[in-house]
DNA sequence: AAAATGATCAAG
DNA sequence: TTGATCATTTTA
């Protein structure tokens, strides 16, 4: 059986080539990977448990649909492996990783994370309280959504366009996830996207409690 | 079910 | 310049 070069258990940083592939391979491939963020003298680590693929050229759910190029979508046209962070609903940030070759405006939205290290500081960033003081449902609530995890990891427009191999902000191999542990579904909250609304481009680790919305 | 809250973008 | 929209979350 052939070894998949994109899967291994390790804290090694993901190489740039990881992202330079079809978005529908990168999105499930990101499950189990670790997001690492150094902020305020703390190191935060979280395991990615839910992602969504956005393929701008053909995807009416994507900000970059039909190669729509604006100040906001600009970084998606750039090289793969960089962060695309956008501000939404006047209140929240969402983190994406840019995929595919330079000029192809595609990305993967990170929708759910399981805290691995630094949960107290995540809780502090989210609520101004340590996780120790939170009931279990609220601990789950820390990072189970795209806006929540950005708040918990201190991710803002400052990270927009940053490579995902920065000292204080990177992705590592983390934990191997078998294909049999991955579930798929339609994407969340893109009812405006016509036929693309039904594309099964959302990927989750089966049974993981840190997903934003349970699989239907 | 509906509010919160402001950047974003296409249209005028 | 304006106004509708929005890859969400919280509260009720």
Q: What is the mean pLDDT of residues A91-98?
A: 98
Query: Nearest nucleotide (C1') to the CA of residue A105?
Result: C7
Residue A101 is predicted with a pLDDT of 98
Q: From the Cβ of A141, is strand C under 7 Å away?
A: yes
A71, A64 contact by CB (below 8 A): no
Give the torsion sign (CA, A102, A104, A105, A109). negative
Tell me the two tokens of residue A78: 């750039």
pLDDT 10s digits, A58-94: 999 999 999 999 999 999 999 999 999 999 999 999 9
CB atoms within 10 A of CB A208: 19
Residue A1 is predicted with a pLDDT of 61
Residue A87 is predicted with a pLDDT of 98
pLDDT 10s digits, A146-162: 999 999 999 999 999 99
For the cut 90, the answer to whether the pLDDT of residue A5 exceeds it is yes
Task: Identify the DSSP state of A2.
Answer: P
Q: From the Cβ of A89, is strand B under 7 Å away?
A: yes
A154, A40 contact by CB (below 8 A): yes
Residue A15 is predicted with a pLDDT of 98
Q: From the Cβ of A160, is strand B under 7 Å away?
A: no
Is pLDDT larger for residue A129 or for residue A54? A54
What's the predicted TM-score (pTM) here? 0.96
């Amino acid at each position: 059986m052939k070894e998949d070069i994109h899967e291994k258990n390790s804290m090694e940083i993901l190489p740039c080539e990881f992202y330079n592939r079809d978005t529908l391979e990168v999105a499930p491939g990101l499950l189990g990977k670790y997001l690492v963020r150094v902020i305020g003298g703390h190191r935060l680590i979280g395991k990615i448990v839910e992602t969504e693929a956005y393929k701008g050229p053909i995807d009416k759910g994507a900000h970059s649909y039909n190669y729509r190029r604006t100040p906001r979508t600009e970084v998606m046209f750039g090289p793969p492996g960089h962060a695309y962070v956008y501000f939404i609903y006047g209140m929240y940030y969402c983190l994406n990783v840019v995929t595919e070759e330079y000029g192809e405006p595609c990305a993967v939205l990170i929708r759910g994370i399981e805290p691995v290290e630094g949960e107290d500081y995540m809780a502090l960033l989210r609520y101004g309280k340590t996780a120790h003081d939170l009931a279990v449902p609220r601990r789950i609530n820390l990072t189970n959504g795209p806006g929540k995890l950005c708040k918990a990891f201190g991710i803002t427009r400052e990270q927009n366009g940053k490579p995902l191999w920065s000292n204080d902000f990177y992705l590592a191999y983390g934990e191997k996830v078998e294909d049999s542990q991955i579930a798929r579904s339609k994407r969340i909250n893109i009812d405006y996207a016509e036929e693309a609304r039904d594309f099964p481009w959302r990927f989750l680790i089966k049974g993981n409690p840190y997903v934003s919305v349970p699989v239907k």
